[in-house]
Amino acid sequence: MKPRLNISRQLRAIHQLPAVNRGGCAYVALALHAHVAKHYPHLVPQILYLMDDDDLYDYRNGEVTTCHHAVIRIGSRYYDSEGGKTLSDMLRAGGCTTSAIPVSPEFVQQSLQLEHYWNPEFDRSNVHRIYSALERK
C-alpha cells in the first residue's frame, strides 16, 4: 500500500515561523516539492505561482518573475504552510491574484535571486528551519 501524504504536523511547525507566508512561501513550496518527491514517489508535486496580471504578462514574455504566493499542487489539493486547500481558496486568499502558473523548481530558484522584489518580512535565515521541520517525524 502506498503511503498517504501526512505532513500536517510539519506544516504547523513551518507556519509558526514569523512571516513565512509573507516572503517565505516560495521557499516553503521548494521544500515541500523536494520532500514529497523524496518521501512519496507515487505522488507528483507541482509548484505553482499565484500571479496577478502584471506578473503573468512578464512571465509570458519570458522574464523570470515573482508571484503573490507560491504553493504546490498534489492531486486536487494545493498546499502552503497553512495546509491543503482548493485552488479557489488559495486564489481568494491571495487577493489580487488571477492565475495559477506551474513553474519548475529551477524557475523558483531563479526568481528567489530577485531578492529586491520579494517581501522582506520573512527572515531568510529561517529557510533551514523549513527543511528541518519537514524532516521531523
Q: Is 87 a residue whose pLDDT tops 90?
A: no
Q: Is residue 109 part of a domain?
A: yes
Q: Is residue 65 part of a domain?
A: yes
Mean pLDDT value of segment 114-135: 91
pLDDT-derived band at 70 (thresholds 50, 70, 90) equals very high
Name the percent of the chain lying above pLDDT 90.
Answer: 58
pLDDT reported for residue 98: 78
Q: Is residue 18 part of a domain?
A: no
pLDDT reported for residue 73: 95
Q: How far apart are CA 69 and CA 71, in angstroms?
A: 7
Q: Is residue 104 part of a domain?
A: yes
Count how many domains the chain has.
1
Count of beta carbons in the 10 Å neighbourhood of residue 85? 16
Q: How far apart are CA 63 and CA 84, in angstroms?
A: 29
Instruction: List, for residues 12-64, the tens digit of each pLDDT value.
Output: 999 999 999 888 999 999 999 999 999 999 999 999 999 888 888 988 998 88
Domain that holds residue 94: 25-130
pLDDT reported for residue 95: 65
Q: Is residue 107 part of a domain?
A: yes
Would you call 124 helix, strand, or coil by DSSP? helix
- Please identify which residue in the block is written with the cell numbers 487577493: 95
Which stretch of 2-6, 8-12, 16-20, 71-75 has the lowest confidence by average pLDDT? Answer: 2-6
Instruction: List, for residues 98-111, the tens digit of each pLDDT value.
Output: 788 999 999 999 99
Q: Is residue 79 part of a domain?
A: yes
Q: Is residue 66 part of a domain?
A: yes
Q: Is residue 1 part of a domain?
A: no
> What's the whole-number average pLDDT of the chain?
89
Count of beta carbons in the 10 Å neighbourhood of residue 8? 10
